[in-house]
Amino acid sequence: MAGTLPDTTATLTGVAAPKHQLIHKPTEEGLGEMSVDRLVTLPNAITTVRALCIPLFLWLLFGRDSWGWAGFTLGLLGSTDWVDGYVARRFNQTSNFGKMYDPTVDRLLLVVGIVSVIAVGAAPGWFSWTVLVREVILSVFVIAITALGAKRMDVTWIGKCGAFANMGAFPAFLLAGESTFRPAVQTGWRVFAYLLAIPGLVFSMIAFGQYLVRGREALAEGRSEASAIR
């Protein structure tokens, strides 16, 4: 992440913004990325709240044996994925840390959700294991090429669609397995889960191939830039 800010950030108009003000949108051009590249921002706070809700999901599923509430919680966490990104853009609070922190929490949430669903047997094994293996391989690949000097890769539109569908399918499978629901309600949730799972899996695998190709390109570009600097 870029360097830290001084105690105040002066705008071109001479108005100072407190260092830890969560919502600060510069009104003038020319402030540069440093004016909003901070650790304490509202988007990062939202991401942190989402991360802290992961233990709640685990407690509901394993501690309370409530598949319905666990599915609702997991679905809520997945559906709020866009909130921190929107706030970052709306208030001009994008940061290098946030660009790494948000997708890391999203991936952690997805992996924890998948492993938990596998543990209780709520979703078909072929679907759960395929998504899980894909996430593990892709994570290792990204870490490896980053360590070798690759440039940071942006998430593709197809990848976002796949992740969003998958993060909706797993909660739906949990809701379909809630024992207190009537059979008709359980069937409805199961149908909805498959309507998300199948296209989600297809999009995820297409994005997987895209990331492999882009990863090689990002590695070549990163090494080229590093050689030019030397």
pLDDT tens for each residue of 189-203: 999 999 999 999 999
Domain boundaries, the chain: 34-229
Identify which of 77, 67, 80, 81 has the alpha carbon closest to the alpha carbon of residue 172.
Answer: 67
- Rounded CA-CA distance 228/186 in Å is 60
Is the separation of the CB atoms in 205 and 219 below 8 Å? no
Give the pTM.
Answer: 0.76
Assigned CATH topology for domain 34-229: Four Helix Bundle (Hemerythrin (Met), subunit A) (1.20.120)
Query: Identity (one letter) of the amino acid at 102?
Result: D
Express as a percent the part of the chain with pLDDT over 90.
46
Identify which of 149, 143, 141, 145 has the alpha carbon closest to the alpha carbon of residue 225.
Answer: 149
Residues of the chain below pLDDT 70:
1-38, 230
